[in-house]
Structure 1
Amino acid sequence: RRQHNLKINKKKVYRLCKELGILGKPVKPKHSYPRRLANNMEVTGPNQLWQMDIKYGFIAGLERYFYTASIIDVYDRSVVGQYRGKESKTEDLLTTLHKALLKRSVYTQGTPLVVRTDNGPQFKSHKFRAFFENNEMLIHERTPNRTPNKNAYIESFHSILERECFRCHIFMSFEEAFDVLDQFMDFYNNRRIHMSLYGYSPAQFIEKLEKNEVTAFKIAV
């Protein structure tokens, strides 16, 4: 317009491009996985609310990252499932989740389980949605944007993992990192005490709870 004193606008550009056959193909809108927002709820026992998230660690010897996805039971603080690998694909997370559900007999329990995540691409994928749609005992919630407090228990665990495991080691290989992580998870679930669990580890607390040797409580999240 300024250089050549042309009378032109977007409609004229569209018409000229159409006549010349150089119009780009229209972009089809992508329909994203609709989000069920994390709701306030009261947790009164295990297998009512799990929180799931992804974290990465660093392999100094290779200058590469590895990924770990953890699932924590909000009530008894057990890490019921964990994936670690060089990638973090939706299929890997679903396999980890499925194994945890089998281990804790969730498929056969009488009440639904809520699995809460953030809005990472794996958790927004159609494969992740389909997994929950095909399992009526499962409900998937995603936290609102910029609200890590809605996923506080898994965020707290990953803080512990960073402070007590990752910062204490310099990993030279994937195998070394995975071995150290496995050892830490055995310690966390079976021996690391939690004052919120009457000073017991998650495994010890579950055993005491099943024998009615500790008082049950409620958690508002």
Structure 2
Amino acid sequence: MADRFIKQGNTTTLVLRILGLAESTYYERLKRTKQSTGTSNNTGRGRPCPGYSLTLQGRKVSDEQIKEWLLELIEGEEHIYGYKLLAQCLRDKYDLVLGKSKAYRLCKELGILQKQRKPKSKHPRRLARNRLVTGPNQLWQADIKYGYVPGRDRFFFVFSIIDVFDRVIVAYYRGTVCEATHICQALGRAIWSRLQPGETMPVIRTDNGPQFLSVLFGDTCESWEMLHERIPPKTPNMNAYIESFHSSMERDLLTKESFETMEDAYAAIDWYMDFYNNRRMHGSLKRKAPTVFSEWVKQLKEEDQAKFHRTL
């Protein structure tokens, strides 16, 4: 009916308002009609955006990693550069081939275009400092790892939170996207599984990724009275335990497996997390798995527990 009135010379907006039909609904129906009759050149099944760029050597680098590099640059003296010069910095430092249009898009998504006013952070920035860790649930470190599925030519994400004291992965997330919502949900699972009501919240330490700079993550930490501290740019040693875990996962799993589907990758990640927590021995944990070490420490006297403190 709408098409008939439109063909009579009435405007589409007017006709839809009279019929009480949303524009989105109308155009979606029109699109499906064209596809079913073969009059549309767009089948709606085009190849999705790959979400990566290539280095000069042909290595694939995910867009999320590129965003982290861009944020690191603007934390330093390169903050005066526009998106074109930032792209050149990435080419010089990482051999990354990044076109100006994509550099503009990524900088716009991060809100760091030179002509735009840099938004003020709602939550104050707290730099990581050395801490003496004498027991579990005092300091957690968190970071994001990128995996690759050759069978789909797509990246996936693994977000992990590790307890510095007993090395237990207290929570993790894996998926094709990794936004602040997923980060907060994983953090919530960690709190509910490790802490009793009224217990002191651990400090959560991260890098300067966009998910950790988000208002949502800041609000979440504030509502749970959890102190969030960020490492300075180019200091991965201050997040050494989660970096070490992700290096182990890269060596033990991601470089050895070639996944055909996302489901294959997720199943492998789930297996590795269970293996790491419950069966993989650590020399620094008395050759015990993290969960086994954690239970073993609980049986010790306080003075013996203090022997396993960590400073970082």
Q: What TM-score bracket applies, with the shorter chain setting the length?
A: 0.7 to 0.9
Output one character per residue of 1:13-65: Cα deviation in whole Å (capped at 9) or x when no partner: xxxxxxxxxxxxx9555112431000111000000000000011000101000
* 1:85 alignment partner in structure 2: 175
In 2: Cα distance, 1:106 partner to 1:151 partner: 26
Identity of aligned residues (%): 46
Q: Which amino acid aligns with 1:84?
A: R
Q: Give the counterpart of 2:213 among 96, 109, 124.
A: 124
* SS in structure 2 at match of 1:188: helix
In 2: Cα distance, 1:155 partner to 1:220 partner: 16
CA root-mean-square deviation: 1.6
* 2:269 alignment partner in structure 1: 181
**Aligned residues between the structures:** 194
In 2: Cα distance, 1:188 partner to 1:63 partner: 27
Output one character per residue of 1:166-212: Cα deviation in whole Å (capped at 9) or x when no partner: 01100000000000111111110000001111110001101111122
In 2: Cα distance, 1:204 partner to 1:143 partner: 30
In 2: Cα distance, 1:141 partner to 1:91 partner: 19
* 1:67 alignment partner in structure 2: 157
Q: Give the counterpart of 1:172 among 240, 243, 260.
A: 260
In 2: Cα distance, 1:163 partner to 1:186 partner: 16
In 2: Cα distance, 1:213 partner to 1:170 partner: 46
1:218 deviation in Å? 1.1
In 1: Cα distance, 2:149 partner to 2:118 partner: 39
* 2:125 alignment partner in structure 1: 35
CA contact (8 A) 1:58 1:66 kept: yes
CA contact (8 A) 1:106 1:113 kept: no
Output one character per residue of 1:130-182: Cα deviation in whole Å (capped at 9) or x when no partner: 0111112x110000111001000000000000000101100000000000111
Q: Determine if the alignment matches structure 1 residue 204 to structure 2 residue 295.
A: no
Q: Determine if the alignment matches structure 1 residue 112 to structure 2 residue 192.
A: no
CA contact (8 A) 1:61 1:173 kept: yes
Q: 1:28 to 1:147 in 2, by over 3 A?
A: closer
Bigger helix share: 2
Q: What residue ranges of structure 2 are gaps of 5+ in the alignment?
A: 1-114
Q: Determine if the alignment matches structure 1 residue 101 to structure 2 residue 191.
A: yes
State the structure with bigger RCO (CA 8 A, min sep 6), 1 or 2. 1
In 2: Cα distance, 1:189 partner to 1:55 partner: 17
Q: Which amino acid aligns with 2:245?
A: F
TM-score, normalised via structure 2 length: 0.60
* 1:219 alignment partner in structure 2: 310
1:103 deviation in Å? 0.2
Q: Which amino acid aligns with 2:223?
A: N
Q: Which amino acid aligns with 1:140?
A: H
In 2: Cα distance, 1:151 partner to 1:37 partner: 12
* 2:106 alignment partner in structure 1: none
Q: What residue ranges of structure 1 are gaps of 5+ in the alignment?
A: 1-25
In 2: Cα distance, 1:29 partner to 1:160 partner: 37
CA contact (8 A) 1:46 1:74 kept: yes
1:117 deviation in Å? 0.1
